[in-house]
């Protein structure tokens, strides 16, 4: 049940209004110009704008303002040129102008399947030119995915590499608040929209990303969906296309993913949950390496071991680094490191595990300041362990030829643009 703003011609509005009300939605405003629509976003945030796909109404400024506030847009196109116009702006939530409300409702609930047309960056030919994608995943119960993803990104950046940290968690994206950034800024969903429209360029990535600035190593951040209801924007196709573009933009892409690995093939009591997990599944498929983290207490370890089989079905375990987070004797007893290792070996046949200590003081200081552990608690044990993990498992060798790679890639991009 959504709060809607309508920007439609009188005839279309009259045709739809009965069904809108019947579906339990509230029309909070009816507006007739792009300027009024943008002003209405400043006054109060609707959930959805249903709009005619005309140049006068549907402008790129309006879409940017909607992206910034997490407002979804569904456009009604009366003609083929209107359809093309909406697509040229990167909007795929477009239905026929004569469509009944039920079709618009379907788009609101399910999102749309975006044809897989990837942008120039995603079409870079050589795998050698691509940066590495590292996905941080963990089961339900807040094992520390976001903490690990942020601090892995920070340590890789501090080692002199270019890094983009992307929040693809469709349940509780929290990279932005953890780093003191606006979570209603364009971010990953806007990149997905552009990738769907085949127009995700390096310049666009730099426009929709925010920068975490630090003298010890800055990095790019594509923040997550501010409101969980926006998950349909992160379809598998869009996420895949976006990640292929992002990996040609930077040396390392670090992904903070959701927890659920249920897929479409499984019968689920919640009809929509499989597609809600599409972003996590696509991220794991695209990843060169997966950091799988669990909580080092009895409940956390049993959750991890139950999910371990599902993860192993999805990615080969050679690509997985297992991390047990918040290791502490108060939750496990004497010799917590040894206990965690032997439990994982015995019940999951997992021989190698990175143990990250419980360090509330340091992680609280980082969250409070909106900074990385490297910046907020540089001498903490938890930061030291994550740094060690990065150097031992994720960035093993120095790679001095990155600058040359990037200029080659960008030159190739310009050459293709000029000829095509």
Binding site for ligand ADP (CB under 6 A): 138, 142-147, 174, 325-326, 356, 358-360, 363, 367, 382
Q: Is 368 exposed, middle or buried (0-12, 13-18, 19+ CB in 10 A)?
A: exposed
Which of the choices Mg ion, ligand ADP, none does residue 277 contact, using the CB cut-off of 5 to 8 A by kind?
none
- Residue with smaller CB distance to Mg ion, 231 or 249: 231
- Residue with smaller CB distance to Mg ion, 92 or 303: 303
Q: What is the DSSP string of 359-382?
A: -HHHHHHHHHHT--HHHH-TT-HH
- Residue with smaller CB distance to Mg ion, 46 or 144: 144
Contact between residue 45 and residue 63 where contact means Cβ atoms under 8 Å apart: no
Q: Lay out the site mask for Mg ion across 115-154 (x = CB under 5 A, - = otherwise).
A: ------------------------------xx--------
Strand locations in 32-131 (E): 48-52, 72-77, 94-96
Positions 185 through 204 that interact with Mg ion (CB under 5 A): none
DSSP letter at 131 equals P
Please tell me whether residue 280 binds Mg ion under the rule CB under 5 A: no
Q: What is the DSSP string of 278-291?
A: HHHHHHHHH-SEEE
- Residue with smaller CB distance to Mg ion, 145 or 385: 145
Which of the choices Mg ion, ligand ADP, none does residue 154 contact, using the CB cut-off of 5 to 8 A by kind?
none
Give phi and psi for 211, each to the nearest 5: -110, 125
Shortest Å distance, C-beta 297 to Mg ion = 18
- Residue with smaller CB distance to ligand ADP, 111 or 144: 144
Which of the choices Mg ion, ligand ADP, none does residue 359 contact, using the CB cut-off of 5 to 8 A by kind?
ligand ADP
Contact between residue 387 and residue 155 where contact means Cβ atoms under 8 Å apart: yes
Binding window for Mg ion (CB under 5 A); candidates: 173-181, 196-204, 264-272, 355-363: 173-181
Structure tokens at 251: 């040396």
| Bridge partner residues of 137 (DSSP) | 292
Which of the choices Mg ion, ligand ADP, none does residue 294 contact, using the CB cut-off of 5 to 8 A by kind?
none
Binding window for Mg ion (CB under 5 A); candidates: 27-35, 168-176, 303-311, 348-356: 168-176
Alpha helices in 180-272, H assignment, sequence order: 187-196, 202-208, 236-246
Q: What is the DSSP string of 104-122?
A: HHHHHHH--PPP----GGG
String of b and e for 103-138 (b: at least 16 CB within 10 Å)?
ebbebbeebbebeeebbbbbbbeeeeebbbbbbbbb
Contact between residue 19 and residue 100 where contact means Cβ atoms under 8 Å apart: yes
Query: What number of residues does the chain have?
Result: 420
Alpha carbon distance, N-terminus to C-terminus of the chain: 45
Pick from 40, 124, 162, 174: which binds Mg ion (CB under 5 A)? Answer: 174
- Residue with smaller CB distance to ligand ADP, 241 or 283: 283
* Three-state secondary-structure class, residue 21: helix
- Residue with smaller CB distance to Mg ion, 174 or 321: 174
Which of the choices Mg ion, ligand ADP, none does residue 360 contact, using the CB cut-off of 5 to 8 A by kind?
ligand ADP
Which of the choices Mg ion, ligand ADP, none does residue 143 contact, using the CB cut-off of 5 to 8 A by kind?
ligand ADP
Shortest Å distance, C-beta 369 to ligand ADP = 12
Shortest Å distance, C-beta 36 to ligand ADP = 39
Shortest Å distance, C-beta 256 to ligand ADP = 7
- Report the residue closest to Mg ion, judged by CB: 146
Contact between residue 343 and residue 301 where contact means Cβ atoms under 8 Å apart: yes
Which of the choices ligand ADP, Mg ion, none does residue 257 contact, using the CB cut-off of 5 to 8 A by kind?
none
Shortest Å distance, C-beta 258 to Mg ion = 8
Shortest Å distance, C-beta 360 to ligand ADP = 5
Binding window for Mg ion (CB under 5 A); candidates: 21-29, 166-174, 296-304, 321-329: 166-174
Contact between residue 340 and residue 293 where contact means Cβ atoms under 8 Å apart: no
Q: Which residues bind Mg ion (CB under 5 A)?
A: 145-146, 174
């Amino acid at each position: 049940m959504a709060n809607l703003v309508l920007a439609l011609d009188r005839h279309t509005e009259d045709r739809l209004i009965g069904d809108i009300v019947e579906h339990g939605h509230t029309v909070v405003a009816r507006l007739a110009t792009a300027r009024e629509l943008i002003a209405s976003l400043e006054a109060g945030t609707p959930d959805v704008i249903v709009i005619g796909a005309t140049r006068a109404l549907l402008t790129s400024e309006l879409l940017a303002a909607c992206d910034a506030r997490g407002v979804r847009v569904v456009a009604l196109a009366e003609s083929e040129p209107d359809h093309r116009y909406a697509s040229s702006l990167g909007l795929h939530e477009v239905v026929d102008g004569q469509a009944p409300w039920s079709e618009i409702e379907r788009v609101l609930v399910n999102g749309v399947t975006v044809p897989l047309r990837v942008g120039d960056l995603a079409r870079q030919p050589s795998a050698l030119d691509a940066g590495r994608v590292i996905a941080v995943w963990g089961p339900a119960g807040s094992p520390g995915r976001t903490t690990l993803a942020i601090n892995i990104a920070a340590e890789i950046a501090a080692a002199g590499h270019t890094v983009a940290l992307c929040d693809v968690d469709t349940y509780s994206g929290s990279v932005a608040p953890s780093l003191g950034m606006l979570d209603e800024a364009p971010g990953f969903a806007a990149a997905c929209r552009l990738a769907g429209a085949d127009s995700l360029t390096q310049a666009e990535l730099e426009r929709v990303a925010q920068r975490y600035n630090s003298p010890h190593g800055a990095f790019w951040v594509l923040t997550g969906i501010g409101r969980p209801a926006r998950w349909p924007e992160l379809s598998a196709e869009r996420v895949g296309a976006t990640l292929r573009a992002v990996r040609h933009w930077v040396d390392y892409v670090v992904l903070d993913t959701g927890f659920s690995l249920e897929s479409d093939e499984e019968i689920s009591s919640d009809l929509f949950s499989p597609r809600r997990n599409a972003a996590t599944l696509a991220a794991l498929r695209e990843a060169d390496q997966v950091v799988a983290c669990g909580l080092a207490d009895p409940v956390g370890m049993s959750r991890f071991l139950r999910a371990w089989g599902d993860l192993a079905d999805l990615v080969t375990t050679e690509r997985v680094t297992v991390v047990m987070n918040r290791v502490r004797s108060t939750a496990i007893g004497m010799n917590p490191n040894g206990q965690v290792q032997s439990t994982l070996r015995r019940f999951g046949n997992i021989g190698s595990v990175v143990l990250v200590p419980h360090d509330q003081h340091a992680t609280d200081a980082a969250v409070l300041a909106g900074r990385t552990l490297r910046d907020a608690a540089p001498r903490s044990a938890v930061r030291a362990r994550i740094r060690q993990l990065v150097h031992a498992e994720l960035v093993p060798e120095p790679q001095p030829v990155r600058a040359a790679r990037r200029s080659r890639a960008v030159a190739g991009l310009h050459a293709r643009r000029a000829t095509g």
